């Protein structure tokens, strides 16, 4: 089973500089379609989707017809939504509606009970300082981990660099970073130097991780000056 997580930056392209996006850019959708098709995900976890309509257009572009979209939970910033997309209708979807969560968390549950949480933790953009951001991220992460059904995999944009204290919460609870597991933990996950897009796998299931990586910058390049998003897709393959 292959899981892909991708912050698509509102389908605006990497040069977008605002936080109030319109609809998706057709050229960005046209580029993301074949990129995702090449990755061939069983489950695609997407962050920064601004509307139901944008999610519907993305589903068509990537050829994954079963999906659920959730807007951002903050009334001030609903554009920080996301969605989970599959090709198999045996998956079901359950949002996590916990008070600490500002953006969204969305669980996909397979027919055999496997639960994968798509998460987007808040960043420091709208917070007063780093300590406040870290405390809020921890509360959001705990809300996801303590919700039912408990996720066996978490995939998404954690807005914290590899090695941050936030990830001790996951390590202490038996989760393993999929990219670390296959020797790709240092892969950059943004077109800059970010490493906050991760896939974490719990317990014995971590022994089933067989491959994973962040997609290269060159695979998302639209021109010399622009990429499909400011983030790169990250994928993990589990032998299930």
* Model pLDDT for residues 177-233, shown as the tens digit of each residue: 999 999 999 999 999 999 999 999 999 999 999 999 999 999 999 999 999 999 999
pLDDT for residue 83 is more than 90: yes
Q: What is the mean pLDDT of residues 48-62?
A: 98
Percent of the chain scoring above 70 in pLDDT:
100
CATH class of this structure's domain 2-90+155-238 = alpha beta
Q: What is the mean pLDDT of residues 99-121?
A: 97
Burial of 25 (0-12, 13-18, 19+ CB in 10 A): middle
Residues near 84 by beta carbon (within 8 Å), at least 6 away in sequence: 43, 44, 45, 46, 67, 68, 93, 106, 108, 116, 118
Q: Domain map of the chain by residue range?
A: 2-90+155-238
Q: What does pTM read for this prediction?
A: 0.97
Computed over every residue of the chain, the mean pLDDT equals: 97
* pLDDT value of residue 29: 98
Q: What is the mean pLDDT of residues 108-123?
A: 97
d(CA 105, CA 114): 16
* pLDDT value of residue 111: 95
Q: What is the mean pLDDT of residues 32-58?
A: 98
pLDDT for residue 126 is more than 90: no
pLDDT for residue 142 is more than 90: yes
* pLDDT value of residue 48: 98
Closest by Cα among 226, 229, 147, 199 to 41: 199
* pLDDT value of residue 235: 98
Confidence at 94, pLDDT banded by 50, 70, 90: very high
* pLDDT value of residue 238: 98
């Amino acid at each position: 089973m292959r899981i892909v997580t991708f912050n698509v930056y509102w389908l605006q392209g990497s040069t977008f500089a605002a936080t109030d996006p319109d609809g998706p850019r057709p050229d960005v959708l046209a580029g993301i379609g074949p990129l995702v098709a090449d990755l061939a995900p069983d489950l695609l976890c997407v962050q920064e989707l601004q509307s139901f309509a944008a999610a519907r257009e993305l589903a068509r572009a990537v050829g994954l017809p079963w999906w659920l979209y959730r807007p951002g939970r903050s009334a001030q910033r609903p554009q920080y939504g996301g969605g989970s997309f599959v090709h198999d209708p045996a998956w079901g979807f359950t949002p996590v509606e916990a008070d600490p969560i500002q953006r969204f968390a969305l669980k996909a549950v397979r027919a055999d009970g496997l639960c994968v949480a798509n998460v987007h933790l808040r960043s420091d953009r709208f917070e007063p300082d780093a300590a406040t951001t870290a405390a809020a991220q921890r509360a959001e992460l705990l809300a996801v981990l303590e919700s039912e059904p408990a996720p066996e995999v978490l995939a998404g944009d954690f807005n914290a660099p590899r090695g941050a204290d936030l990830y001790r919460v996951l390590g202490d609870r038996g989760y393993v970073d999929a990219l670390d597991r296959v020797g790709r933990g240092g892969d950059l996950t943004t077109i800059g130097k970010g490493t906050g897009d991760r896939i974490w796998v719990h317990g014995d299931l971590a022994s089933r991780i067989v491959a994973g990586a962040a997609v290269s910058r060159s695979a998302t390049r639209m021109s010399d000056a622009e990429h499909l998003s400011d983030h790169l897709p990250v994928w993990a393959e589990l032998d299930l």
